Amino acid sequence: MRRLRNIKIVATLGPSSTGYDMIRALFRNGADVFRLNMSHGSHEEIATRHANIRKVEEDTGRPIAILADLQGPKLRVGVFKNGAETLSDGQMFRLDLDTAEGDNTRVCLPHKEIFEALEPGTTVLVNDGKIRLRVTECANDYANCEVIAGGEISNRKGVNVPDVVLPLAALSEKDKKDLEFVAELGVDWIALSFVQRKEDMLEARELVKGRAAVLAKIEKPAAVKSFDEILEVSDGIMVARGDLGVELPVQNVPPIQKRLIRKCRAVAKPVIVATQMLESMIDSPMPTRAEVSDVANAIYEGADAVMLSAESAAGRFPIEAVQTMHNVAIEVESDPTYRVVIGASRGAEKMTIADGIVSAAREIAETADIKAIACFSQSGTTVGLVARERPSVPIIAMAATTRTARRLCLTWGAHCVKTDEMGRFKEAVVRAVRAATQEGFAAKEDDIVVTAGVPFNVPGTTNILRVAPCDERKIYSAEPE
């Protein structure tokens, strides 16, 4: 099953998309990665979705990546005696640790850590920023606030504090239990929510113990400021624009998105653009024109993947949402302007032998009549480097393990093929040309480029490139071994 596009589609599963038939339909229509949202659903429900994905994988014969998204620390106000209150601009309102039901003058905020970090002048946002408060006086158990932007405040609405780095661990006790559960279940990626510093990622990596790749969700201003350090210790990045757009002025989000995508591409790590991409398709079979442009822009920017959240998890038209993303990707990637934009954003600096090999592979493939670049990868690093080049020909990712093949489903352009371990380069070339012809990338009279690292099965040793004919007889009659 060959995709005729390079960008990957991540589809979140939920009440609208739990069963085998729906998951298979989503995969057939374009979903490459399935997201399990640990904020919703019991462990039993998550295990059922995981099992259904693996059954689809087995029945279709194609690797599928599974991403488990941890909830992270959720900050919420308490409850109100009347269920809700309306706050007026300019009035005073108190947040405190008193568990009594709230009213028009106060409500409980059961997070002592927040009060320890607040200062006069700090902004507190409630209900996705619809209500904006400014702290005028505070102590370790309360904060008196002026209502800057009022509105209705109701039970357990979310709270954001964008101005400060909160002394909160990115992994709550629930997250730690969920992390262990999904790691043992066998997911391929684990996403950490509300990352603020690289230490958050290091803690998660220590708990994961190599059982899955670890992805950082960038949704707080502190994470943007510390992005370089966070990227260094992450396997991938998600630009989670929902909370990011609450905690920062909305006009800041597009340039941040572009900047983070470029930084991820420079170090050959996959990046997902997420949140509200086709929001209207939760209830409508057709997206808005602005949403289509949003998806298209992420593709032009060179993102590895775009993501559906509620559109596929709880919406009325999950298949149509996946189809829409797929169709937009096909159209954008066939646009001549796309190749111009992608080429212009390619970095020129080459630091290692591997960088030179993959750059040469792209240049040869685009100069000569080459049908594909096949790269052998033990850990996925080589495939990531080839994908960073954004070649105009397909990438065939020859993975020695099922785990690597699945993880690479998130990487731009990678068509993943599981292969056995090898000891000779000629054997690798034969496997590559067989995959290219069997998977429909090339015919017997065509050529492909093959990259690998010798000795085999040693991560990070990409050091050889060959233009190979797809006629096996020519391979066996040629050198080198």
Q: Is 76 annotated in the active site?
A: yes
Q: Which of 275, 382, 451, 462 is catalytic?
A: 275
Spatial CA neighbour of 346 closest among 301, 313, 381: 301
Tell me how long the chain is: 481
The C-alpha atoms of residue 112 and residue 140 are separated, in whole angstroms, by 7
The C-alpha atoms of residue 215 and residue 238 are separated, in whole angstroms, by 7
Beta strands in 345-420 (DSSP E): 370-377, 395-399, 414-418
The residue type found at 422 is: M
Q: Which of 35, 157, 265, 269 is catalytic?
A: 35
Beta strand 447-453 with 142-149 is unpaired
Q: Is 35 annotated in the active site?
A: yes
Q: Which of 18, 48, 54, 76 is catalytic?
A: 76
Secondary structure of 103-142 as H, E, C letters: CCCEEECCCHHHHHHCCCCCEEEECCCCEEEEEEEECCCE
Residue 424 in tokens: 């000779």
Q: Which of 217, 362, 388, 403 is catalytic?
A: 217
SS3 state at 96: strand
Spatial CA neighbour of 152 closest among 134, 135, 130, 133: 130
Check residue 70 and report its DSSP letter.
-
Q: Evaluate whether 159 touches 247 at the Cβ level (below 8 Å).
A: no
Q: What is each CA distance from 470 to 300, 400, 465, in whole angstroms?
A: 32, 21, 15
Q: Is 5 annotated in the active site?
A: no
Residue 287 in tokens: 């997206």
Q: Is 339 annotated in the active site?
A: no
| Catalytic residue annotation | 35, 76, 217, 275
